[in-house]
Structure 1
Amino acid sequence: MLRRNIMNQLVSWADSRERKPLLLYGARQTGKTFLLNELAAKTFPGDSVRFDLERDARARQAFEYDLNPEALIRRLSQVAGYRINPERTLLILDEVQSSNRALASLKYFCEDTPQLHVAAAGSLLGVAANQQGFSMPVGKVQTMTLHPMSFDEFLDAMGDGGIIPEIRDCYERAEAFYLHDAMLERFWQYVIVGGMPEAVARFAEDGNYAAARDVQSTIIDLYVADMAKYATPTETARIRDTWNSIPAQLAKENHKFQYKLVKSGGRASMYSSSIAWLLAAGLVERCARVTSGQLPLAMHEDASAFKIYMSDTGLLSARAELGSSTVLDADYRKQLDLGGIVENYVAQALAANNVALRYWTSGNLAEVDFVMQPHDSTSAMPIEVKSSDNTRSRSLATYRSKYEPTTSMRLSTKNFGVDNGIRSVPLYAAFCIGK
């Protein structure tokens, strides 16, 4: 069984007396259904009901009448052949975006039957919510987002979960980790396998990279097929073109998203809605440019400049046709351009910890990969990312000279420590940032 960090939040939701219906966001195949089923087994043993509203027409029809919770519970009990008890039962509405009425019903469950545990999830929930006519129960639900598995979750799946607290301790103390080389090897495995649960599970069985890549290819095909949903044929073509351009966007020396790389003559007016679709579907992460390192960072965002990362680095590796034999061999690895892929990995780790993604530039003279605003900090923290142990950089020096941050961080293949006032953090410990 794959351990997911978000499970603690789900259990806390179930135990809370102040809870509202839960709306679980996340891209397809990130494990939403599995998690809700696990929550049911763990917290509501023998007393849960799940409806897949994409496949179950009878369940959808139950929402086409009065949305009074008492009547709804009676109809859903008939469909399930099981009595739903508002005091004890967990009601799971999967693929809830397939029924606007089911989504709207969450408001009434919140107001009229707060004792009933209702958990709804959907792969294209964010996309559907942006469509005209969809009724989002604003203020009446609690939302969570399930991301692909982070590196610490990957470690746990590989049987190395006991090491995680030690990595966190070294991160806090800035002290060298004695299993550094072994963790770097695991890190490069993760770059290939990524965090899609099925790919991780297949790889954990016997270390078969080809099996994991087969899973990734299937998921990518599903994503491409989904792009025809909630979009016109013209919009679908543009969404796919935008999606297909991401590896090339990250292969450039400057990772700023350029519409002309999507298609010659491309402009924001043509493709901005495509990016919005990919973001809403949870397939990508957006990193905004800031023009200043002064707080608050949100006030310095430049809406016209941003970077786009894939939500899962393993899928990016698959789309880039990055082979395990070259990545895992230290000599071959030196010949590869892994900067964009490693930067994508850090973006994925930060996003999983709910860190707002931002980067800083000073014209064409300097660029810092990420800048974050730590909680209760008096200054922003610049984060530089290197795919090797070559850590020379003028950009970080320029930023530090200009803004004098309390803390500066560099992620690379070097061990934990402090180098010329800069915190050195190994790439495998990115999951510690922002926790």
Structure 2
Amino acid sequence: MIKAPRGTRDLLPGEIEKWHYIEAVAREISAIYGYQEIRTPIFEHTELFLRGIGDTTDVVQKEMYTFEDRGGRSITLRPEGTAAVVRAYLEHHLQNQPQPVKLYYLGPMFRYDRPQAGRMRQFHQVGIEAFGSNDPSLDAEVVCYTWDFLSRLGLKGLRVEVNSVGCPECRPVFGRDLREFMNEHRESLCEYCRDRIERNPLRLLDCKEQRCQDLLKDAPGIHQYLCPECRGHFQKVRELLRVAGISFRVNERLVRGLDYYTQTAFEVSLEGMGAQSSVAGGGRYNNLVETCGGSPVPGIGVAIGLERVLIALEKLGVELPIKRPEYIFVATAGEDPSGELEKEAMSLLVKLRRAGYPAEKDFLSRSLKAQMKQAGRLGSRFVVILGTEEMKEGKVTLRDMERGSQINVTQQELFRFLENRKSGEAEL
């Protein structure tokens, strides 16, 4: 039997409703904050991610799904959403629209990683991107969006960590001193960090190897190297987060796993969730649009991992208020050698659905008793029973499964009852 590839999973009825609810909340919060939806291709030219994410990052070095198409072009399944949105921003000249341009996306991402809880090879993100402003209040807005989205879902114990990773003016000096410090411990570093020392020393801070993390405890911190502009920007971001009532902790080692971040970087995690506690992360990327071939345009965004959100909801015992359809079940009773009952059942089913009522019927020629059981399994509140005698009289039996009561009505009266029930004016 062929199974789903390792690191992927099927989302089945009974679970997919949770995804629909979370996605609906994301759309609602995005509308409140003024973000419009964008949908980009699932695969892009590999060069986009090499230039945008950075060729010394773990994502590019270890995790991308890259292949050649039949035309010999190098193609990569998107490992994250920001670079693709930047590409679309440039390709469709969104920089000519009134700024800031505020966009959100929902969809799958792909990374070749070791599958575990909350870390899949195909995973899903909600993300927002805002282009055209370097105002610290936009940084604060993105953090607030993340906080509000997660809080709206019922998650408690949110922990926000913020940092400034500087800019091309001040970061090189920090990189030089960090390189010198780590070179003294070169032999103790992992293979990747030995390479990072020369190519991109800031990536040393993102290494997950414990031996490298231990060495970094005594390494220089970036805050003493921040230029006046970056220091002032970070100060304003913190002030605005306090105004918004967002509690946070400054983490000088937080750099995120992508090269495009400048100034603000942040991460949101959940207390008591263990190794996979991080559910969202983002930051400012003021040079990414230029790196991808455009004129300098500041930007900032965040990505929220939906698998991790769902795991957190389950561990915390949060029940999502999912409203399931209240089906009307159309059943037939008695012998039907001429097929007239079946025709009438199909006709009524179509009428109900076209009038906007969720409706189902039997498709296995079961007995009335079995049909009633099926109606119960579907959670049907009402069953409309078509019998030979009722049909001769132009009526149906309407049964309330919850109350156990029933009445005989015409189809016109049936639809009048259903319409009145919408406003709570009718009960059997």
- TM (norm. structure 2) is 0.22
Please state which structure has a larger fraction of its residues in helix.
1
TM-score (norm 1): 0.22
Return the index of the structure with the highest Cα Rg: 2
